[in-house]
Amino acid sequence: MSIYKKLFEAKKEIGKISKDSTNPFFKSKYFDVNSLLEHVEPILQKHNLLLLQPIVDNSVITRIVDVETESYVESSLQLPNIQDPQKLGSAITYYRRYTLQSLLGLQAEDDDANSASKTVNTTTNIPKPKRLTAEQVALIPKADDISKLQIVLKSYSLSDTEKKSIENRIAELKK
């Protein structure tokens, strides 16, 4: 049996993955890489498929190998140039999750896409700008994604202190 037939059978068993973790800063859902691996690996192994996720030439590679024929399929993403080991580790984890999700074509509800695709009536019921919770404000000094911080600046009703805190964090991250 070819690797593609084995993957086809495995994908039927894997099914749709449910997002089981919450990003506390943006209150969005995602599936944790460890939960994803716990779900996927036993099914792949049942079909004699081995999952590997090496880092090669500054890229995270997700490779599924047919242990009988040694043929494989893979997906990869180039890592950004990050010097901070903790931030690099977070990027590696993120890329592992998404290269595996992409390689297997896993279905998962996309909170961001669902929010963006909702019809908005622009003539009535204009929503008031959102306020940050105390927990979200406390996370600002730890945030490490400039683009998300910029979204917060544009999307939320912020006090002058909150704006200044976010602007300072963005300046720190740009250094």
**pLDDT greater than 80 at residue 138:** no
The pLDDT, as a whole number, for residue 113 is 40
**pLDDT greater than 50 at residue 52:** yes
Average pLDDT rounded to a whole number, residues 108-122: 43
DSSP string, the chain: --HHHHHHHHHHHH-PPPP-EEETTTTEEE--HHHHHHHHHHHHHHTTEEEE--EETTEEEEEEEETTT--EEEEEEEPP----HHHHHHHHHHHHHHHHHHHHT-----HHHHHHHS---SSS-PPPPEE--HHHHHHGGG---HHHHHHHHHHEE--HHHHHHHHHHHHHHH-
* Percentage above 90 pLDDT, the chain: 29
**pLDDT greater than 70 at residue 119:** no
Q: Picking from 16-20, 49-53, 82-86, 140-144, which range would have the lowest pLDDT averaged per residue?
A: 16-20
Question: pTM for the complete prediction?
Answer: 0.56
